[in-house]
Amino acid sequence: MKKAAAQQSAAKKTAAEKTAAKKTAAKKTSPAKPAAKKAAPARKAAAKKAAPAKKAAVKKAPVAGKPLVAPKKATAAVKAAPAKTVVRPGKGESRTALVRRARRINRELAQVYPYAHPELDFENPFQLLVATVLSAQTTDLRVNQTTPALFAKYPTPEDLAAANPEEVEEILRPCGFFRAKTRSVMGLSKALVERFGGEVPDRLEDLVSLPGVGRKTAFVVLGNAFGRPGITVDTHFQRLVRRWKWTDETDPDKIEAAVAALFPKSEWTDLSHHVIWHGRRICHARKPACGACPIAALCPSYGEGETDPEKAKKLLKYEKAGLPGQRLKPPQAYLDAGGRPAPPLGAG
| Binding-site residues from annotation for [4Fe-4S] cluster | 283, 290, 293, 299
Contact residues toward ligand SF4 (CB under 6 A) are 243, 282-283, 288-290, 293, 295-296, 299, 301-302, 304-305
Please answer whether residues 188 and 133 qualify as being in contact, where contact means their C-beta atoms are separated by less than 8 angstroms: yes
Q: How far apart are CA 240 and CA 255, in angstroms?
A: 11
For ligand SF4, the closer CB: 199 or 304: 304
Active site residue 253: no
Active site residue 216: yes
For ligand SF4, the closer CB: 31 or 90: 90
Catalytic residue among 140, 234, 245, 313: 234
For ligand SF4, the closer CB: 160 or 283: 283
Least Cβ distance, residue 285 to ligand SF4 (angstroms): 10
Give the residue among 270, 246, 232, 243 at the shortest CA–CA distance from 117.
270
Cβ contacts of residue 340 below 8 Å, gap of 6+? 112, 294
Least Cβ distance, residue 103 to ligand SF4 (angstroms): 15
Least Cβ distance, residue 91 to ligand SF4 (angstroms): 18
According to DSSP, the residues that pair with 5 across neighbouring strands are none
Q: Which residues of 250-260 are buried (b: 16+ CB within 10 A; e: fewer)?
A: eebeebbebbb
Least Cβ distance, residue 296 to ligand SF4 (angstroms): 4
Catalytic residue among 216, 245, 317, 320: 216
Coil/strand/helix, residue 266: helix
For ligand SF4, the closer CB: 116 or 290: 290
Which conformational region is residue 152 in: left (phi greater than 0), alpha (psi within -120 to 50 degrees), or beta? Answer: alpha
Q: Which residues are catalytic?
A: 216, 234
